Chain A
Amino acid sequence: KAGVTQTPRYLIKTRGQQVTLSCSPISGHRSVSWYQQTPGQGLQFLFEYFSETQRNKGNFPGRFSGRQFSNSRSEMNVSTLELGDSALYLCASSIQGSSYSEQFFGPGTRLTVL
């Protein structure tokens, strides 16, 4: 069974630009969560999507947004990039039925903002 895939793996952008990251969950998984990982803050929750609806949101500014498609694939977008947005962005998928199930992570997208 294929794992969670994320594209692209690496990105270099400049301040003010916007970026879109993509995540394909494990087949059959309906929930996708996004996290930002930095050396100083660790793993911070961005948002979670389930059946194309945002179910939960972390404490990030509105420049960070996401969506989920009918096939459970998800994208996150960051507009007006700042230097502090440089991080590893991780996507995790889970089955998420009526009870919680474990989250499985992808390899991440390394974003560098210059």
Chain B
Amino acid sequence: EDQVTQSPEALRLQEGESSSLNCSYTVSGLRGLFWYRQDPGKGPEFLFTLYSAGEEKEKERLKATLTKKESFLHITAPKPEDSATYLCAVLQTSGSRLTFGEGTQLTVNP
């Protein structure tokens, strides 16, 4: 059975203090790993898709990387508007359903 574990559960940063969120996964054949951002009361917003180990993608202050066992979401010089819950999900080669982790709740203080 696919498993996705995100850490830490919650993270508080000062504005400008860079950090990383972790997503470790167990899946029988990874087709893709996805990062989403979710604000309170809203649906998840798509950020990145990573398909193979070694792949990296960037968007503004966010950079996602992928290895064979985990993915990292690096946040460089975060701002208060980056505060949200970040969700990681995996898709296995044999299916079309996403398996989500519990998420990391990020708070960036001004």
CB-based contact A102/B97 at 8 Å: no
Residue of A nearest to B95 (CB): A56
Type the 1/0 row for A31-73, where 1 means its CB is closer than 8 Å to any CB of B.
1010100000011110010100001101000000000000000
11 contacts between A and B (CB under 8 A): A31-B96, A43-B44, A43-B100, A45-B97, A45-B99, A48-B96, A55-B96, A56-B96, A100-B96, A103-B34, A110-B41
Q: Counting chain B CB atoms within 10 Å of each CB, which of A43, A45, A110 scores highest?
A: A43
- Residue from the list B34, B99, B100 in contact with A102, Cβ < 8 A: B34
Main secondary structure of the interface of B (DSSP, over half): strand
CB-based contact B96/A96 at 8 Å: yes
Is A25 interfacial (CB 8 A cutoff)? no
**What's the interface size class on B, roughly?**
20 to 34
Neighbouring B residues of A102 by C-beta, 8 Å: 34, 46, 49
Docked pose: A101 CA to B87 CA in angstroms:
18
CB-based contact A4/B97 at 8 Å: no
**What's the interface size class on A, roughly?**
20 to 34
Task: List residues of chain B with CB under 8 Å of any chain A CB.
Answer: 31-32, 34, 36, 41-46, 49, 87, 89, 91, 95-103
- Residue from the list B44, B49, B96, B103 in contact with A105, Cβ < 8 A: B44
Docked pose: A45 CA to B44 CA in angstroms:
14
CB-based contact B45/A105 at 8 Å: yes
Docked pose: A54 CA to B44 CA in angstroms:
23
Closest 6 A-B residue pairs measured CB to CB? A105-B43, A43-B100, A45-B97, A42-B102, A105-B44, A107-B43
Other than the known A33-B98, A106-B43, what 15 A-B pairs have Cβ atoms closer than 8 Å? A4-B43, A33-B96, A33-B97, A35-B100, A42-B102, A43-B89, A43-B98, A44-B100, A45-B99, A48-B96, A48-B97, A90-B44, A92-B43, A102-B46, A105-B36
